Chain A
Amino acid sequence: NAGVTQTPKFRILKIGQSMTLQCTQDMNHNYMYWYRQDPGMGLKLIYYSVGAGITDKGEVPNGYNVSRSTTEDFPLRLELAAPSQTSVYFCASSPVGTANEQFFGPGTRLTVL
Protein backbone atom coordinates (compact mmCIF):
# COMPACT_ATOMS: atom_id res chain seq x y z
CA ASN A 1 0.00 0.00 0.00
CA ALA A 2 1.21 3.48 -0.84
CA GLY A 3 -0.89 4.98 1.98
CA VAL A 4 -1.63 8.68 1.48
CA THR A 5 0.04 10.34 -1.48
CA GLN A 6 0.14 14.05 -2.28
CA THR A 7 1.18 15.95 -5.39
CA PRO A 8 2.99 18.16 -6.02
CA LYS A 9 5.70 18.17 -3.36
CA PHE A 10 6.56 21.81 -3.95
CA ARG A 11 4.91 24.66 -5.80
CA ILE A 12 5.44 28.37 -6.21
CA LEU A 13 2.40 30.43 -7.19
CA LYS A 14 1.97 34.05 -8.07
CA ILE A 15 -0.65 36.11 -6.27
CA GLY A 16 -4.04 35.57 -7.88
CA GLN A 17 -3.20 32.23 -9.49
CA SER A 18 -5.17 29.09 -8.76
CA MET A 19 -4.13 25.52 -8.24
CA THR A 20 -5.31 22.14 -7.01
CA LEU A 21 -3.43 20.07 -4.47
CA GLN A 22 -4.01 16.39 -5.06
CA CYS A 23 -4.49 13.77 -2.35
CA THR A 24 -5.11 10.07 -2.84
CA GLN A 25 -5.34 7.22 -0.34
CA ASP A 26 -5.46 3.51 -1.05
CA MET A 27 -6.59 2.30 2.38
CA ASN A 28 -10.33 2.59 1.67
CA HIS A 29 -10.71 5.12 4.49
CA ASN A 30 -13.98 7.02 4.64
CA TYR A 31 -12.59 10.02 6.51
CA MET A 32 -10.17 12.45 4.90
CA TYR A 33 -8.73 15.78 6.04
CA TRP A 34 -6.76 18.74 4.83
CA TYR A 35 -4.48 20.65 7.21
CA ARG A 36 -2.13 23.53 6.87
CA GLN A 37 1.00 23.77 8.99
CA ASP A 38 2.62 27.10 9.72
CA PRO A 39 5.76 27.55 11.86
CA GLY A 40 4.93 27.69 15.56
CA MET A 41 1.22 27.24 14.87
CA GLY A 42 0.75 23.50 14.73
CA LEU A 43 -1.74 22.04 12.27
CA LYS A 44 -5.03 23.71 11.47
CA LEU A 45 -7.92 21.83 9.88
CA ILE A 46 -9.06 23.36 6.59
CA TYR A 47 -11.72 20.91 5.39
CA TYR A 48 -12.69 17.36 6.05
CA SER A 49 -14.82 14.71 4.39
CA VAL A 50 -16.64 11.73 5.87
CA GLY A 51 -17.31 10.01 2.56
CA ALA A 52 -17.76 10.53 -1.14
CA GLY A 53 -19.95 13.55 -1.75
CA ILE A 54 -19.80 14.79 1.86
CA THR A 55 -17.48 17.59 2.94
CA ASP A 56 -17.47 20.16 5.71
CA LYS A 57 -15.46 23.16 6.85
CA GLY A 58 -12.78 23.00 9.45
CA GLU A 59 -11.20 25.80 11.43
CA VAL A 60 -9.62 27.76 8.54
CA PRO A 61 -11.62 27.17 5.32
CA ASN A 62 -11.51 30.66 3.79
CA GLY A 63 -9.80 30.77 0.40
CA TYR A 64 -10.09 27.03 -0.18
CA ASN A 65 -12.53 24.59 -1.71
CA VAL A 66 -12.74 20.82 -1.74
CA SER A 67 -14.63 18.05 -3.43
CA ARG A 68 -14.88 14.30 -2.85
CA SER A 69 -16.20 12.39 -5.81
CA THR A 70 -14.54 9.09 -4.87
CA THR A 71 -13.42 7.40 -1.66
CA GLU A 72 -9.79 7.61 -2.77
CA ASP A 73 -9.40 11.24 -3.81
CA PHE A 74 -9.79 14.48 -1.88
CA PRO A 75 -8.38 17.45 -3.85
CA LEU A 76 -7.94 20.89 -2.30
CA ARG A 77 -8.49 23.89 -4.55
CA LEU A 78 -6.93 27.30 -3.97
CA GLU A 79 -8.63 30.11 -5.82
CA LEU A 80 -6.92 33.49 -6.12
CA ALA A 81 -3.81 32.58 -4.17
CA ALA A 82 -2.62 35.05 -1.52
CA PRO A 83 0.68 35.28 0.38
CA SER A 84 -1.20 34.24 3.54
CA GLN A 85 -1.68 30.82 1.94
CA THR A 86 2.05 30.17 1.94
CA SER A 87 2.24 27.05 4.08
CA VAL A 88 2.82 23.32 4.14
CA TYR A 89 -0.34 21.38 3.37
CA PHE A 90 -1.01 17.90 4.69
CA CYS A 91 -3.69 15.48 3.68
CA ALA A 92 -4.70 12.70 6.07
CA SER A 93 -7.16 9.83 6.16
CA SER A 94 -8.73 7.70 8.87
CA PRO A 95 -11.02 4.70 9.05
CA VAL A 96 -14.47 4.97 10.55
CA GLY A 97 -14.57 4.29 14.28
CA THR A 98 -13.65 5.86 17.58
CA ALA A 99 -10.31 7.58 18.18
CA ASN A 100 -8.69 5.95 15.18
CA GLU A 101 -5.31 7.03 13.93
CA GLN A 102 -5.02 9.56 11.15
CA PHE A 103 -2.56 8.61 8.43
CA PHE A 104 -0.73 11.54 6.91
CA GLY A 105 0.70 12.19 3.48
CA PRO A 106 4.19 13.68 3.00
CA GLY A 107 2.91 17.20 2.45
CA THR A 108 2.97 19.92 -0.22
CA ARG A 109 5.09 23.01 0.39
CA LEU A 110 3.38 25.99 -1.25
CA THR A 111 4.83 29.47 -1.62
CA VAL A 112 2.75 32.35 -2.90
CA LEU A 113 4.74 35.34 -4.14
Chain B
Amino acid sequence: AQSVTQLGSHVSVSEGALVLLRCNYSSSVPPYLFWYVQYPNQGLQLLLKYTTGATLVKGINGFEAEFKKSETSFHLTKPSAHMSDAAEYFCAVSDGGFQKLVFGTGTRLLVSP
Protein backbone atom coordinates (compact mmCIF):
# COMPACT_ATOMS: atom_id res chain seq x y z
CA ALA B 1 0.00 0.00 0.00
CA GLN B 2 1.13 3.50 -0.76
CA SER B 3 2.08 5.81 2.06
CA VAL B 4 3.55 9.25 2.63
CA THR B 5 5.64 10.54 5.51
CA GLN B 6 6.03 14.23 6.16
CA LEU B 7 8.79 15.01 8.65
CA GLY B 8 7.94 17.87 10.96
CA SER B 9 4.39 18.81 11.81
CA HIS B 10 5.50 22.45 12.12
CA VAL B 11 8.25 24.36 10.35
CA SER B 12 9.12 27.95 11.27
CA VAL B 13 11.09 30.29 9.02
CA SER B 14 11.75 33.98 8.82
CA GLU B 15 10.48 36.02 5.93
CA GLY B 16 13.01 35.81 3.11
CA ALA B 17 14.51 32.53 4.32
CA LEU B 18 14.58 29.24 2.45
CA VAL B 19 11.55 27.01 2.86
CA LEU B 20 12.14 23.23 2.89
CA LEU B 21 9.27 20.85 3.61
CA ARG B 22 10.11 17.17 3.55
CA CYS B 23 8.14 14.33 2.02
CA ASN B 24 9.08 10.68 1.64
CA TYR B 25 6.84 8.18 -0.06
CA SER B 26 6.42 4.47 -0.27
CA SER B 27 4.95 3.10 -3.46
CA SER B 28 4.98 -0.29 -5.11
CA VAL B 29 4.69 1.26 -8.56
CA PRO B 30 6.12 4.39 -10.17
CA PRO B 31 4.30 7.09 -8.27
CA TYR B 32 2.51 10.26 -9.14
CA LEU B 33 3.30 12.80 -6.42
CA PHE B 34 1.52 15.97 -5.41
CA TRP B 35 1.86 18.90 -3.06
CA TYR B 36 -1.31 20.66 -1.95
CA VAL B 37 -1.62 23.79 0.19
CA GLN B 38 -4.41 24.62 2.63
CA TYR B 39 -4.92 28.17 3.82
CA PRO B 40 -6.88 28.68 7.04
CA ASN B 41 -10.51 27.68 6.80
CA GLN B 42 -10.23 26.72 3.15
CA GLY B 43 -10.07 23.59 1.06
CA LEU B 44 -6.87 22.27 -0.46
CA GLN B 45 -5.43 23.55 -3.71
CA LEU B 46 -2.77 22.06 -5.91
CA LEU B 47 0.74 23.54 -5.73
CA LEU B 48 2.49 21.15 -8.09
CA LYS B 49 2.67 17.55 -9.21
CA TYR B 50 5.13 15.04 -10.58
CA THR B 51 3.99 12.50 -13.13
CA THR B 52 6.82 11.53 -15.48
CA GLY B 53 9.75 13.21 -17.17
CA ALA B 54 11.65 16.09 -15.59
CA THR B 55 12.32 15.41 -11.95
CA LEU B 56 12.37 19.08 -10.93
CA VAL B 57 8.82 20.35 -10.92
CA LYS B 58 7.85 23.99 -10.68
CA GLY B 59 4.56 25.04 -9.19
CA ILE B 60 2.64 28.12 -8.28
CA ASN B 61 3.81 30.92 -5.99
CA GLY B 62 7.51 30.16 -6.57
CA PHE B 63 7.47 26.66 -5.08
CA GLU B 64 9.27 23.72 -6.61
CA ALA B 65 9.91 20.09 -5.74
CA GLU B 66 12.40 17.49 -6.87
CA PHE B 67 11.55 13.84 -7.35
CA LYS B 68 14.43 11.64 -6.17
CA LYS B 69 13.67 8.01 -6.83
CA SER B 70 16.80 6.74 -5.07
CA GLU B 71 15.78 8.55 -1.89
CA THR B 72 12.01 8.04 -2.37
CA SER B 73 11.63 11.72 -1.66
CA PHE B 74 9.69 14.66 -3.04
CA HIS B 75 10.72 17.64 -0.91
CA LEU B 76 9.11 21.04 -1.44
CA THR B 77 11.26 24.17 -1.53
CA LYS B 78 10.98 27.90 -2.02
CA PRO B 79 14.05 30.14 -2.07
CA SER B 80 12.52 33.03 -0.16
CA ALA B 81 9.54 32.75 2.18
CA HIS B 82 6.78 35.32 2.16
CA MET B 83 4.30 35.99 4.93
CA SER B 84 1.52 34.83 2.61
CA ASP B 85 3.11 31.35 2.45
CA ALA B 86 1.93 30.61 5.99
CA ALA B 87 -0.38 27.64 5.55
CA GLU B 88 -0.53 23.87 5.91
CA TYR B 89 1.12 21.80 3.21
CA PHE B 90 0.23 18.24 2.29
CA CYS B 91 2.21 15.77 0.26
CA ALA B 92 0.21 13.06 -1.50
CA VAL B 93 0.90 9.97 -3.58
CA SER B 94 -1.35 8.32 -6.14
CA ASP B 95 -3.11 5.23 -4.86
CA GLY B 96 -4.31 3.02 -7.67
CA GLY B 97 -6.72 4.29 -10.28
CA PHE B 98 -9.41 6.93 -10.37
CA GLN B 99 -7.05 9.70 -9.19
CA LYS B 100 -7.21 8.39 -5.62
CA LEU B 101 -4.61 9.87 -3.30
CA VAL B 102 -2.99 9.00 -0.01
CA PHE B 103 -2.10 12.13 1.94
CA GLY B 104 0.63 12.76 4.47
CA THR B 105 -0.19 14.21 7.87
CA GLY B 106 0.69 17.73 6.79
CA THR B 107 3.27 20.35 7.76
CA ARG B 108 2.23 23.72 9.05
CA LEU B 109 4.53 26.47 7.81
CA LEU B 110 4.90 29.50 10.07
CA VAL B 111 6.55 32.62 8.66
CA SER B 112 7.77 35.32 11.00
CA PRO B 113 8.64 38.90 10.04
Contacts and interface: CB of A to CB of B under 8 A. Distances in A.
A42 B105 contact: yes
A106 interface: yes
Given A90-B43, A90-B44, A106-B43, A43 B99 contact: no
A99 B104 contact: no
Size category of the B interface is 20 to 34
A51 B71 CA distance: 37
Interface string B71-102: 00000000000000000001000100011111
A50 B99 CA distance: 10
B98 A41 contact: no
Contact of A45 (B44, B51, B100, B106): B100
Interface centre among B42, B101, B102 (most CB of A within 10 A): B101
Contacts, number: 56
Contacts of B46: 101-102
A40 B105 contact: yes
A92 B94 CA distance: 15
A4 B43 contact: yes
Contact of A48 (B9, B44, B98): B98
A99 B45 contact: no
A43 B98 contact: no
26 contacts: A4-B43, A31-B99, A41-B105, A42-B104, A42-B106, A43-B44, A43-B103, A45-B101, A45-B102, A90-B43, A90-B44, A94-B99, A97-B99, A98-B32, A99-B34, A99-B49, A99-B51, A99-B94, A99-B99, A100-B99, A102-B44, A102-B101, A104-B44, A104-B45, A105-B43, A107-B41
Interface of A: 4, 31, 33, 40-45, 48, 50, 58, 90, 92, 94, 97-102, 104-107
